């Protein structure tokens, strides 16, 4: 596939996500999600929730981050291993590594800070 085969808002969301502009990425993907009624609807919902999970994590809202991490995985799992040029195996693995300290904590309100070098990036296959 080429970049012209994707909704430009999907690509914009990826650029924003990779720039760690998670709230803005969520906004771009939400526009696509609101307009779209096809088989990838829950895929977009999973991307939206992954961005919001990282936004909450970066702002210290660990409970919100944990909740959205779980739901984003639920939405994206069904599209494995690849969907719309995204290697979901790698993305979900990288997301799990990023959230490892959060997931390992047994505290009700853990004090865990996001590690910038562990934040996943999205790179599409064969986008020209």
Greatest Cα pair distance in the chain = 46
58 class by beta-carbon count within 10 Å (0-12 exposed, 13-18 middle, 19+ buried): middle
Question: In Å, what is the CA distance from 96 to each residue of 44, 70, 73, 93?
Answer: 19, 10, 9, 5
Q: What is the pLDDT of residues 49-75, one digit of tens each?
A: 999 999 999 999 999 999 999 999 999
Q: What residue spans of the chain are helical by DSSP H?
A: 8-18, 22-35, 41-58, 62-77, 88-98, 100-104
Looking at residue 128, its pLDDT comes to 39
Looking at residue 126, its pLDDT comes to 67
CATH no. of 8-118: 1.10.3450.10
Of residues 127 and 61, which shows the higher confidence score? 61
Q: Give the start-to-end residue ranges of the domains of the chain.
A: 8-118
Q: What is the pLDDT of residues 89-114, one digit of tens each?
A: 999 999 999 999 988 887 776 788 99
**Predicted TM-score (pTM) of this structure:** 0.91
Looking at residue 104, its pLDDT comes to 87
Note whether 73 and 92 are within 8 A (CB): yes
Note whether 109 and 62 are within 8 A (CB): yes
- Average model confidence (pLDDT) across the chain: 92
Confidence category of residue 2, pLDDT binned at 50, 70, 90: low
Q: Determine the distance from the C-alpha atom of residue 66 to the mean position of all C-alpha atoms in its chain, rounded to a whole number.
A: 13
């Amino acid at each position: 596939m080429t970049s012209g085969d994707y909704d430009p808002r999907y690509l914009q969301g990826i650029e924003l996500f990779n720039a760690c502009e998670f709230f803005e990425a969520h906004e771009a993907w939400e526009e696509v999600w609101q307009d779209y009624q096809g088989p990838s609807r829950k895929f977009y919902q999973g991307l939206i929730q992954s961005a919001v999970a990282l936004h909450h994590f970066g702002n210290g809202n660990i409970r919100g981050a944990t909740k959205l991490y779980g739901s984003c995985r639920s939405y994206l799992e069904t599209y494995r291993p690849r969907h719309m040029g995204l290697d979901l195996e790698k993305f979900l693995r990288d997301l799990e590594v990023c959230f490892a300290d959060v997931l390992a904590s047994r505290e009700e309100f853990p004090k865990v800070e996001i590690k910038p070098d562990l934040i996943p990036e999205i790179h599409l296959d064969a986008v020209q």
